[in-house]
Amino acid sequence: MRPGGFRLGLAIAATHLASRRRQTVMSLLGVMLGVAFFLAVSALMRGSERDFIERLINSQPHVMVSDEFRLPPLQPARQLHPRAAVALSNVKPSSEVRGIRGYKQKMELIAAMPGVRVAPVLSGQVILTFAGKDHGVLMNGVVPKLMSGVSDIEDKIVAGSLEALDANPNGIIIGEALIGKLGVKMGGNVTISSPGGQIRTMKIVGLFSTGATAIDEGQAYVLLKRAQAILNRPDRANRLIMQLDDPYRAREIAAEIEQRIAYRTQSWQETSENITAVLVIRNIIMYSVVSAILVVASFGIYNVISTVVMEKRRDIAILKAIGFHTDDVRRIFLFEGMAIGAMGSVVGVGFGLVLMLILGRVEITLPGTTTLVNLPLYWGFDQMVLAAAFAILSAAGAAYFPARRAAMLQPVDILRGQT
């Protein structure tokens, strides 16, 4: 349409909508509600997703090197004859002390990478005994100074401190929950026995509480050196755990480390892959549901425009007789649909923001906690653009069919019926 004609199309479209004011307003309301709910639900879902991922990132090492390989080492015979068909039976795996060999050099290598903090851990199952009561825990041997750089364990300590381990090499930090279970007190002594038969008496120098029972009752911290002695694995660590300035670079950093040191290195994304897959499914479900609202709203648009096309058959005939092209006519009705979509979007984004403000004030207590938290909301602009774009597109889609019918109308058919 030429410049003059473009405005003309808009003007005609406006008169059509004005002539069906009530229906137009109803379909506008439909789009508005659709866009508003789209926004509110999207803000909630994405807000909670971010919140969840943040917790996920904070609750585990961003990157972790473990004492295993992704591929089993090649047997000497295979190394000798890489292309031969070799069948070996009764192979005895070489037995050696488990753990990351030369972990100190490997740590230095990792610590040299910018934005990466690393700490060694040696973990192993031991039995805690106090007053005849036994309790199995995972004992983590750590270097307190390094550990506080890579985890939030310090924040979880409710009595004593991580550094107390440095002061007392026979110190141990256990979960607050175990106090009740074993009947021991802060500062008391517990006996540790390892599967290898080592038995030691340790003094409780700290208590932690994470809120997760499995951790609070199932883990304990000692000095790395002590753990190496108890587990009989001198100079070994079985995990190197890392925290990054930018947790979202974990994947590439993990790949780089694994390539350099060969030990299996996992990013938090890899560790949480099935959880994030659930998030993707959740997003698909959410967007289908809120989009369905907009699809329903577009039926309203289809209705108005169909009615207008029916009512304005004479006008369409005269426009085409005068010399309007099929495209010109189609555009008039597409304009009408998109105008409803666009106006509905503007009002809908406004109403959606109001809904978000209300939702943002809702306070809930999460199960297992006593603190009030606000619903996590995502305020991003992109979801408003997405909602509006989807509304306008589905409006145009709804208008398309009546618009095409109008465009294909032959003026002579109407003239024949009239004169």
Q: By the criterion CB under 8 A, which residues form the site for another protein?
A: 2-5, 7-8, 11-12, 15, 18-19, 314-315, 317-328, 411-412, 415-416, 418-419
Choice between 323 and 367, CB closer to another protein: 323
Return the structure tokens found at 278: 């659930």
What is the closest distance, in whole angstroms, from the C-beta atom of residue 316 to ligand ATP in the complex?
A: 18
Asked if 81 touches ligand ATP (CB under 6 A), the answer is no
Distance CA(15)–CA(91), nearest Å, equals 88
Burial class (CB in 10 A: 0-12, 13-18, 19+), 316: buried
* Identity of the amino acid at 156: K
What is the closest distance, in whole angstroms, from the C-beta atom of residue 409 to ligand ATP in the complex?
A: 14
Choice between 33 and 409, CB closer to ligand ATP: 409
Choice between 190 and 305, CB closer to another protein: 305
What is the closest distance, in whole angstroms, from the C-beta atom of residue 410 to ligand ATP in the complex?
A: 11
- How distant, in Å, are the alpha carbons of 98, 235, 250, 261, 320 from that of 105? 17, 12, 21, 10, 83
What is the closest distance, in whole angstroms, from the C-beta atom of residue 281 to ligand ATP in the complex?
A: 57
Residue number, nearest CB to Mg ion = 419
Asked if 416 touches ligand ATP (CB under 6 A), the answer is yes
Q: Which does 5 bind (CB under 5 to 8 A by kind): another protein, ligand ATP, Mg ion, none?
A: another protein
Q: Which does 62 bind (CB under 5 to 8 A by kind): Mg ion, another protein, ligand ATP, none?
A: none
What is the closest distance, in whole angstroms, from the C-beta atom of residue 14 to another protein in the complex?
A: 9
Choice between 260 and 314, CB closer to another protein: 314
**Would you say the C-alpha torsion 223, 224, 226, 230 has a positive or negative sign?**
positive
Distance CA(385)–CA(391), nearest Å, equals 10
Classify residue 375 by its DSSP letter. P
- Residue 75: phi, psi to the nearest 5? -70, 150
Angle among Cα 223, 224, 230 to the nearest 5 degrees reads 90
Classify residue 237 by its DSSP letter. B
Distance CA(283)–CA(276), nearest Å, equals 11
- Residue 146: phi, psi to the nearest 5? -75, -35
- The count of residues interacting with ligand ATP (CB under 6 A) is 2
Q: Which does 4 bind (CB under 5 to 8 A by kind): another protein, ligand ATP, Mg ion, none?
A: another protein
What is the closest distance, in whole angstroms, from the C-beta atom of residue 332 to another protein in the complex?
A: 12
What is the closest distance, in whole angstroms, from the C-beta atom of residue 389 to ligand ATP in the complex?
A: 44
Residue found by looking up tokens 């060999």 in the block: 101
What is the closest distance, in whole angstroms, from the C-beta atom of residue 414 to ligand ATP in the complex?
A: 10
Choice between 373 and 415, CB closer to ligand ATP: 415
Q: Which does 164 bind (CB under 5 to 8 A by kind): another protein, Mg ion, ligand ATP, none?
A: none
**Residue 268-287 contact track with Mg ion, rule CB under 5 A, x = bound:** --------------------
Choice between 92 and 416, CB closer to ligand ATP: 416
Distance CA(398)–CA(297), nearest Å, equals 9
Rg over CA atoms, the chain: 34
What is the closest distance, in whole angstroms, from the C-beta atom of residue 418 to ligand ATP in the complex?
A: 10
Q: Which does 320 bind (CB under 5 to 8 A by kind): ligand ATP, Mg ion, another protein, none?
A: another protein
Q: Which does 18 bind (CB under 5 to 8 A by kind): Mg ion, another protein, ligand ATP, none?
A: another protein
Angle among Cα 365, 155, 208 to the nearest 5 degrees reads 85
Q: Give the rounded distance of the alpha carbon of 298 from its chain centre.
A: 31
In sequence order, the 6+-apart residues with CB closer than 8 A to the CB of 89 are none
**Would you say the C-alpha torsion 251, 254, 259, 263 has a positive or negative sign?**
negative
Choice between 95 and 419, CB closer to Mg ion: 419
Choice between 3 and 367, CB closer to another protein: 3
DSSP three-state, residue 111: helix
Distance CA(203)–CA(220), nearest Å, equals 12
Choice between 349 and 414, CB closer to ligand ATP: 414
Stretch that binds Mg ion, among 15-23, 215-223, 304-312, 411-419 (CB under 5 A): 411-419
Residue found by looking up tokens 């007789």 in the block: 321
Q: Which helix (H) or strand (E) holds 149?
A: helix 144-150
What is the closest distance, in whole angstroms, from the C-beta atom of residue 317 to another protein in the complex?
A: 8
| Binding positions for Mg ion, rule: CB under 5 A | 419
| Binding positions for ligand ATP, rule: CB under 6 A | 416, 419
